[in-house]
Structure formats: structure tokens, C-alpha cells
Amino acid sequence: MLDDVRAQFPILSETAHGRPLVFLDSAASAQKPECVIEAMGHAARHCYANIHRGLYDMSERTTQAYEAVRDDVARFLNAADRREIVFTKNSTEGLNLLAHSLGNQLKPGQAVLISALEHHANIVPWLMLRERLGIELRVAPLDAAGDIDLTAYEDLLRDGRVALASVTHMSNVLGTITPAKRLVELAHHYGAKIILDGSQSIVHRKVDVQALGADFFVFTGHKLYGPTGVGILWGKLPLLEEMPPFLGGGDMIRSVSFKAATWADAPHKFEAGTPAILEVLGLGAAIRFVEGIGAERIEAHERELVAYAQERLEGLEGVRIMGRPVERGGVFSFQVEGAHPHDLAVLLDQQGIAIRAGQHCAEPLMHELGVQATARASFAIYTTCDDIDALAHGIERTRSLLA
């Protein structure tokens, strides 16, 4: 139990429909600890100015605080160089940046490989690239448990036409922790670069980009207890240096004339315009907050929750849990007999329990699973076994109401 941590999230003392709030939708967007709220508020009240351009003291101090977060992220990911950290709007923007700056270098006849687990953010940019360039999009299937079929994944790489693989590190639907190092090894063996979408994994596991060996890694701040509007693209520096910019404008140039422009060095050539300054400062506070708790403590807490939820939900009559991957993070998608997921979510909300219902921006995976939608409960460092009990009791009450 992380009671000392839970107390740092002021919103968890709120009520919903007159009942204590049970928040089980952290995979969509996690709640914010007081330190994140305070960091953003303090900067807005006492030291806000645009960065990189002002020569006055407040601008210089804000610039220093902003760039210090780049160091925080580099340390958090164990990046080899702070210049490998690109600030984006979210994981979606990071993946779109790669689809343009890296993907536009692909040639007809080459392929991009993804998996059946992917969020729309890691599908649609590659569909758009296919429309632009005529490249092939390949999809690695799943096995019956909800893990990527590694034999099929390798078979899709084998002809050497895959130039780029882009695969989730953790599914936002099934909670599947993918075998990232093996996926990376296979991609590199067959000459492909590889991106890992860490939108979910960054919250649930310690991520060491050097140990993983991937070429790129993306995550988003709002799932890591930080604010919306800020995300991270990490890339190996030589690759970032070779890539052209994605967006043009201020702060990403070295020089501009009416004849031509030249680009700043990485990472700044990928950070056009005034950035999300307060949000970056909030992300830095979130990272320091997570580091203060410690990866081992977070992972131990999560493993306890996942094991408890698996047993508790499987013990409920009429509940079908989707997938049983080899390793699962704190995400459970499920269906309840006799209750549409949307109806279930509304009726649980009346009991103070917040879950997700729908396709979770993973419509192709829903088709793969043979369902139209699921309910989803997702966990965070503030989730407790009592929350899981509340969900179980809520499902039982809902079934009795609908019987």
C-alpha cells in the first residue's frame, strides 16, 4: 500500500454522486499530485516568461528551469545525451513527427511494421504515410493470450523490406507488456529501425532506453502524473541529427532569409514555436515525484494490484477478462454479461466508480478480439485493493440491477 503517496493527490478526497471517488481510469489520464499543481502555479505566479529569447532576468530563469527538465527526462530515461530529448505535445505528436521526418525518407516497396495491439496514435500516422508514399503497412498478429506472436513478427521482417517497426511497449487495452528487447533485436537483425510507444509503460515500469536498445521512444506527460499538452520523443542522437524538421517556425532555425532557412541542431530543430512552458515544468515535477517514490516500490505495488485484480475479477460471475498476457501491467479490459460497457460505466459512475468504456482508441484490436467495446479499469500508484473491491462490488450490484 502506498497510503503516503495517495495523500499527495488532492482530487482523491473528492466525492462522485455523494460517494467517495474510486478513480480507475488512469490509463486515459492520471491524476496530478500536489507538487505538479504547485510547480505550475508557482511558475505562473512568480516566474513566467517566454524562453530562449529574452535577455531579461525572468526569461533567463524560466529558460534555465525549462531546460533543466530536459536533464530530468534524460536522467529518468537513462538517455546517453540530453540532446536526445525532444519536447512534444504528446505521444501522438511524437509518432507523427517520426512518420514525417523519418517516414518520409522511406521509398515505395519498403514497409512499416506495427502490431495488432496498437493505439490509433501508432496506426493512423502510418496509414497516412502509406497514402503519401505508397509504402506497405504490415501488422504482427497476437496469440490467444494477447501477446505479440513473435514467430509471425519475425516472419514479417524476414524479407528485409521492413525499414521501420513501431510497436507499443504496453497495451492500453490488454495491459500486455511486450517483450521489447526481443522486438528490438529482431528488428535490428533484419535491418529495420524501431520505435517503442511507451505511453503506458512509462507509468508502470522503469524505462532504460539504452538497455532497451530501441531507436526511438515516445511517451506523454498526462499519463505520468503530469499535465496535458506535453510529451517526449527520445531518439538516438545520430538519427535525430540526420532527420529533417517536422514543423517550421521560430526557435527551430539557425538562420532565415527569403531565399532559404537553415535548421538549429537537435533537439531544437524539432521544437518550433513557443512551447508548453508551464506544462514542461509540471512534467519535471512529476518525474521528480515518481523518482522520489522509486521504481522498485512502484512495480511491487503494481504487481500486487494486478494479481489481486486478476483473482477478484475472475471470481465474479458473468465477467470476461480480455486477454491473459505473459506479463500484464495495471490495465484490465473486460465485459460483463448482460451489460453493455457504456451502460456499465454509467451505472458504476452512479456508485462513485470511474472506469472507461468503449474502444479505447484501438478499434482494430476490438475487431481482433471479436467485440465492439469493452469496459476498462486501469491502475496507478494511488490505486488500492479497496478500489478493486469497490469495482467488484459495483459490478455485482450493477448485474443485480440489470437482471
Residues carrying an active site annotation? 361
Decide if 252 contacts 240 (C-beta within 8 A). Answer: no
Q: Measure the CA–CA gap between 79 and 70, rounded to whole angstroms.
A: 10
Query: Coil, strand, or helix at residue 266?
Result: coil
- Tally of CB atoms within 10 A around 361: 17
Q: Which of 176, 124, 147 is nearest to 333 (CA)?
A: 176
AA identity, residue 155 = D
- Where do the DSSP E strands lie in 264-373? 319-321, 331-336, 353-354, 356-358
- Angle of helix 277-293 relative to helix 295-314, nearest 10 degrees, comes to 80
Residue 357 is which amino acid?
A: A
Question: Strands 85-88 and 231-235: what pairing?
Answer: antiparallel
Q: Find all residues with CB under 8 Å of 186, minimum gap 6, and list them.
A: 150, 153, 154, 157
How far apart CA 104 and CA 123 sit, in angstroms, is 16
Residue 245, helix vs strand vs coil = coil
Cα–Cα distance, 314 to 336 (Å, whole number) = 11
